[in-house]
Amino acid sequence: MTVQDAIQRRETIDFLEVAARYCVFIEKENRKGFEYFLSAREVLVTLYAAAIKLPDISTTTHNEFDGRVTKEEQQLIIHRLNGNIGDKGFYWDTFDPTNEKDTEAVCEDLVDDLGDIYRDIKSCLTTYNIGQIEAQEHGLWELKFTFDKHWGAHNINALRALHYLIENNQ
């Protein structure tokens, strides 16, 4: 699918709106602890549901765009997330639950999950919002690629952790 076709699809428009709301949530949400967990769960469910409908697009250019979140910006987000989540953000999981050889438990971090999702999405949205068709193509392609290869797993892991944080807090 071409970027021009993808841009006009309802699924793309919906995802871009949800992704922008996720970034605003991460940048500005002031609730703490249990209230934050409830809000984060809702935002993540909506984000995942919209992301699985993103169309595959083909790229026609290999231009690079500098839309990346800087290390300083990411540190500010991590600091904010730590303030909202507190010391409740650590949980145990396996890295790949479908790999029968990968049975060792690892400590995961909700702050890392939410921060990585933010970094990937914000970087892609910044590139997309440059407005040039090549930037939009690159931004949309990266959104889909990073969902499939990186932040989609962080989203699912965060949702699972939030489920138990909420259940055990009631």
Nearest in space to 135 (alpha carbons), one of 144, 124, 146, 145: 124
Query: What does the domain layout of the chain look like in residue ranges?
Result: 3-169
At 170, the pLDDT band (50, 70, 90 cuts) reads low
What is the pLDDT, as a whole number, of residue 5? 84
Model pTM? Answer: 0.92
First to last CA, the chain: 46
> Which CATH number fits the domain 3-169, given the four candidates 1.10.1380.10, 1.10.3720.10, 1.20.120.1550, 1.20.1050.10?
1.20.120.1550
Could you read off the pLDDT of 26-38 as tens digits, one per residue? Answer: 999 999 999 999 9
**Distance between CA atoms of residues 5 and 19, nearest Å:** 19
